[in-house]
Each structure stands twice: as C-alpha cells, then as structure tokens.
Amino acid sequence: MSLNLVSLINFTNEWTIFLLAAVLFIRIYKFHKDKLTDFIAATIIGGFTSEVIKYFVNRPRPEMSFIYQSTFEGSSFPSTHVTIAFTIAFFFAITCHGLSKKDRGEGDRYFAILGLFLATMVAILRILTHAHYPVDIFAGIILGFIISLLFVFYDVTLRKIK
C-alpha cells in the first residue's frame, strides 16, 4: 500500500467520523433534544477514556513498511477513532432507542443502522491502514459500548441515575 493510498484512507476515515457525529447530532437535536447533552458528554468521555488507557498501556503500533512508518504516532491500544465512532453509534442505537421495534415514524432505526455501518467502516479502515491491530479495534468497540450503556442508566442533563 503506497503512502498516497494510506493518506487517502486516513482522510476518508476522519471524514467518516465527522459525518457520523454530524448526522446523529442533527438527528438527536431534532428528535431527542433531551439526550443532546448526554450525547456530547458520551462522545467526550469516550475519547478521553481511550486516550487515558492508551497512555498507560503504551502498546506500539503494528509494524509497517518504511515508506509510511511516520504516518501514525502514539500508542495503539485501544483505537480512539473506533471508540469515538462506536460510542456515537451505540449511544444513538441504545439511548435514543434507534433499534427498537417501535419506530414512532421518525426513521430512527435507519439512522441507527447508518451509524453502526459508518462506525464499522471506521474500524475496517483503521485495520486496512495498519494503524491498529484487530484487538485494538475490538477494545474500542467494547469501550464505546460500555460508555454508551452508562448513559442508559445516568442522565447528565438531570444529573441523576434513572
């Protein structure tokens, strides 16, 4: 894989996360305003938690050819990109009941599926560019799920346990 292709995939990866966050932010703002603060908090907590774990684990990234060795910096475990993407997708699917059988006519189910699809694309692209090992990706997915699950039981806006 050449440096230009890796750079293109990385660019696509960054924009996929931005698209995922923007689309679901707008959807939550429009139909689930009471969850907006929780959504922002979950996203920030997901990124922060991943970076703290990275700092303490300090696992090196996968071996790459000398052509694009300098493309990625920092440690590998867990993937912060994947953690943020799956925190956003799982938050919408779980907390906003995006995958529930009662669709309320708002189309949340389609947005939840789109969110999970885009998050999966981020995970696949991180492996294709040799930025992470598969275990880093799985750890990011699990971390995103756990952080999202916390918001099922705790409401940041009301500052209380549900």
pLDDT score of 109: 83
Classify residue 161 by its DSSP letter.
E
pLDDT along the chain (162 residues), means of 10: 69 86 90 88 94 88 56 78 95 78 66 92 87 91 94 71 62
pLDDT recorded at residue 25? 93
Q: How far apart are the first and last CA of the chain?
A: 49
Q: What is the rounded distance in angstroms from the CA atom of residue 21 to the CA atom of residue 81?
A: 12
Angle, CA of 145, 103 and 81, to the nearest 5°: 25
Whether the CB-CB separation of 91 and 41 falls below 8 Å is answered with no
pLDDT of 68 reads 47
At 106 the pLDDT is: 64
| pLDDT for position 74 | 73
Spell out the domain ranges in the chain: 3-161
CA–CA separation, 59 and 147 (whole Å): 22
The DSSP 8-state label assigned to residue 131 in this structure reads: S
